[in-house]
Structure 1
């Protein structure tokens, strides 16, 4: 064997030993630098709600750690802009659909190698995909939905011989009349339903949005980003406005001269009134269940699907969606998208949604149902949910609340809807 061959063999052995020593950590610090990374995730839910999912990731991916930082959704956009300016953006953001418009320009698009637009639409519900996929560009991996549901006091229903919760809005109206209790001079002492006003019903805009969507139109169309509130449609060969119908139906519950009168300014917000047994039923978000159950342990709470219009050919709900998004300025976009898709896997996403008591956004998981009765309703309603494109939650909420209150005060519904339309259009300019 020549000296050259001996030298080559010794060199190969030496390099091999160096690689092995680095891998085993014998040479301090080198393995950690070469093989580990950290993904920073911002979220609006408590870290404990993600603990199981984070643990599942760590078991399969020990070299990639995730640091979860809880943030206030009210300051989310501001904090992201500050982080961009400082050069310290998170790698993943848990984003509600209502904050998508404000943040879209700062979000990266998911590479198609993770999921194609067709796979995306077939995997997740329409309420989630209609916001986070724009023109086949995917900006977020949905994982949770917060649909509207009906909360009702079982004992009050039984006391008034009402066997089941209302399925249609006609039944809802009749049940509200039966459940409303008054003094001899007509003053309300127990509300049958929390409807009619915006000032003391935080979910008033959601309820009216639900009614409008069920009527066949939207507020702002997610696909075209055009304002559609107030538009008319042909129903049984009669031209009518779902917005005006929704406003009049809703407002009548706060009008003393109407037989549907069951709510006024003296009541506390629905969750408070329900807990105090001053309210028999109300429409609220699935996300209200956890706190409502804790505050109302003395009440037998019923959770049911929201009512629908009589003879409706399609059942419709209204939900907010939450997704994992990746900021454009992240230096670890590929790894971040890998983490996001992992958390949305069918065996992983329930670890999150069961903790936050919301419905998963995956169709296959929703189709499997849930053994916990309230969650089974959330799953059912999530499958039939739709949403609308909200460019500015704070300002749009103010616009819609003003529309509701003005109709409750006696203004023509058509005029109130027209004004709201004009003001919403200004948000998109």
Structure 2
């Protein structure tokens, strides 16, 4: 049988294609076989997809055998969504992890191999607070994307009108300037001075201020075994009573109360001269009132020579159910320590840096310099859960303001609540 010229060409082309497919299948040529060896990682977090897109692309360019996908969750429901997803059998390789979660959720994490990240490396790369939050038992469980700290936002115009040249640097100065800043109509507070002394209902960061005072006072928050809260000893009682006097109408330091408009809203409308905030909240303040002249000052201290601040931030961790923990930790280390990656993240979010090298470069930044510098002196403690701690202190504050308990008895009740949570009751 003779083939026509067209048939011969068709058979030759078909044979050539068949040979190529066989070579690809057996790995002689790149193609489908190579794709079968790609390691796929999933990252879960609360940041917009665009924030991680460039970081992921940078990492994939350096690791062509790894492909990463990102899943975004809403921040206010992230913890619940995370637990529900894990219970349903879904699992990430890498997840965003809040700085106060280690005691509560550390059992869900795979610690870093020592050769990739050790406690000594954490100490050299990041401020001390990271070690307190993310290192336990000689192992590293997470690394920070950024570190935000609590500072004082104040209305420059109202401070100027009150004749206060500089914002307070100590809590004593805070108390001494209350009378000049507040506006009283008889016993009624028409304009607050500092939004402090009440619960989280009136001022979002109220419990953070309480914790800052306790830590500045050198109060030991829990025991070494993490089984008992200890913050209701004498110094703790003193610090807590100092906090609540700012919402006591009979006190010379009466500055704020929970019946006033929420602190952030009140501040933007001139109903409060100052309140305590994190850098992530500043853009919202400016959006609410573009004409407000906002100053930002460091958190007041008990003793300026022994500065202690508090931090709030997210890190990245590796889920202990990941099939690729080594590659996952490679991504975590890259995203949090590679200068290009971290600069990309910070530029897109506006957050203060976590790396010591970048904190050094950012200290004079007019927008985030105050927050960045304070990270170096931020301190923390392992908590049984933010909701437990916030609820315990809010209840204690409310009991004092309602005159149901003295500050001393109220903080003892809060201590008992936290101890119960630590013991899993």
Q: TM-score range by the shorter chain?
A: 0.7 to 0.9
Note if contact 1:169-1:307 (Cα within 8 Å) is conserved in structure 2: yes
Write the deviation string for residues 42-67 of structure 1: whole angstroms up to 9, x where unpaired: 11222233344234324433442322
Aligned-partner Cα distance in 1 for 2:342–2:259: 42
3-state secondary structure, aligned to 1:289: helix
State TM-score, norm by structure 1: 0.86
Deviation (angstroms), 1:334? 0.9
Deviation (angstroms), 1:23? 7.6
Q: 1:270 aligns with which of 253, 263, 266?
A: 263
Deviation (angstroms), 1:224? 4.9
Structure 1 position 423 matched with structure 2 position 417: yes
Q: 1:345 aligns with which of 333, 337, 340?
A: 337
Deviation (angstroms), 1:201? 1.6
Give 1:96's aligned residue: 98
Q: Where does the alignment leave 5 or more consecutive residues of structure 1 unmatched?
A: 1-13, 233-240
3-state secondary structure, aligned to 2:348: helix
Note if contact 1:77-1:102 (Cα within 8 Å) is conserved in structure 2: no
Aligned-partner Cα distance in 1 for 2:348–2:223: 32
Structure 1 pair 24/294, CA: closer, same or farther in 2 (3 Å)?
Answer: farther
Structure 1 pair 222/344, CA: closer, same or farther in 2 (3 Å)?
Answer: farther
Structure 1 position 404 matched with structure 2 position 404: no
Structure 1 position 302 matched with structure 2 position 295: yes
Deviation (angstroms), 1:223? 7.7
Aligned-partner Cα distance in 2 for 1:120–1:247: 33
Note if contact 1:134-1:223 (Cα within 8 Å) is conserved in structure 2: no
Aligned-partner Cα distance in 2 for 1:75–1:190: 34
Give 1:329's aligned residue: 321
Q: How many residues align?
A: 401
Write the deviation string for residues 15-50 of structure 1: whole angstroms up to 9, x where unpaired: 9x947995864x5x223223x333211112222333
Aligned-partner Cα distance in 2 for 1:276–1:291: 13
Give 1:379's aligned residue: 372
Aligned-partner Cα distance in 2 for 1:55–1:301: 38
Give 2:312's aligned residue: 320
Give 1:202's aligned residue: 204
Aligned-partner Cα distance in 1 for 2:115–2:28: 30
Structure 1 pair 223/356, CA: closer, same or farther in 2 (3 Å)?
Answer: farther
Aligned-partner Cα distance in 1 for 2:223–2:51: 32
Structure 1 position 284 matched with structure 2 position 285: no
Aligned-partner Cα distance in 1 for 2:394–2:277: 16
Structure 1 pair 165/115, CA: closer, same or farther in 2 (3 Å)?
Answer: same
Deviation (angstroms), 1:166? 0.8
Note if contact 1:127-1:320 (Cα within 8 Å) is conserved in structure 2: no
Give 2:69's aligned residue: 67
Deviation (angstroms), 1:406? 1.8
3-state secondary structure, aligned to 2:103: helix
3-state secondary structure, aligned to 1:280: strand
Q: 2:114 aligns with which of 95, 112, 115?
A: 112
Structure 1 position 248 matched with structure 2 position 241: yes
Q: 1:164 aligns with which of 163, 166, 181?
A: 166
CA RMSD of superposed structures (Å): 2.5
Deviation (angstroms), 1:137? 1.5
Q: 1:367 aligns with which of 360, 363, 372?
A: 360
More moved, 185-194 vs 378-387: 185-194
Deviation (angstroms), 1:191? 1.1
Deviation (angstroms), 1:399? 0.8
Q: 1:32 aligns with which of 28, 31, 35?
A: 35
Aligned-partner Cα distance in 2 for 1:231–1:333: 43
3-state secondary structure, aligned to 1:334: helix
Write the deviation string for residues 230-257 of structure 1: whole angstroms up to 9, x where unpaired: 124xxxxxxxx1x222222221121222
State TM-score, norm by structure 2: 0.87
Aligned-partner Cα distance in 2 for 1:123–1:321: 16
Give 1:389's aligned residue: 382
